[in-house]
Amino acid sequence: MSGSSDTEVYVKQGFGKDLELKAPFGLLLIDFVNGFADEAWFGGGNIRDAIACSVDLLAAARERGWPVAHTRIVFADDASDANVFSDKIPSMLHLTEAAEISQIVPDLAPRPGELVVRKQLPSGFAGTSLQGWLTRHGVRTLMIAGCTTSGCVRASVLDAVGAGFVPIVVRDCVGDRAIGPHEANLFDMEKKYAQILDRDTVLAAATVPA
């Protein structure tokens, strides 16, 4: 993490104001698929810990009636929708619709009525129906879990801000394959774009049903 001098300059310049959690709430689970739980593919670091922590978060969201959306990276079998993202990370093209590594992990499997977004870019909002679906369900504050913190989580947070949602990154429910980028991006998002709270604090604070 950055040292105290770094924190001081952000505070001096007015960064990092707390965001208010305003109902209705929604939950976005980003790319918690088998391939990101597996170090042989895209996993590592604290991603498995984030998956385990998200089980109770998802259960609480369902109990409270929050709209829940999941994302998966899914490319066409023939790579006809390849893009600059996959040019940079060609192994992403293995994440096809039927591939086992592209399936959401069983402990967080979607239920009927929950949105499953298939995407080909880091953000869950880019070229998808996510924004319209959240708006239709009246969401104001969006709880965000998933992986990776430095990649698809960060990109989705930025687009959530642009769409007018209040993004709350659930600290212990996001993970990355390397801890350095994870911590650096939590720091940066907290200072500029989102509120960063641990799961139990989120669930205690967000007590108003959707």
Give the catalytic positions in this structure: 152
Amino acid at the residue 24: P
Question: Is the N-terminal amide bond of 67 cis, ω within 30° of 0?
Answer: no
Tokens of residue 117, six digits: 């977004």
Q: 50: how many CB neighbours lie within 10 A of its CB? A: 28
Strands (E), 89-205: 115-119, 141-147, 166-175, 195-197
Question: Is the N-terminal amide bond of 141 cis, ω within 30° of 0?
Answer: no
Q: Is 201 exposed, middle or buried (0-12, 13-18, 19+ CB in 10 A)?
A: middle
Question: In which element (H, E) is residue 73 found?
Answer: strand 68-73
Angle, helix 179-192 to helix 154-162, in steps of 10 degrees: 10
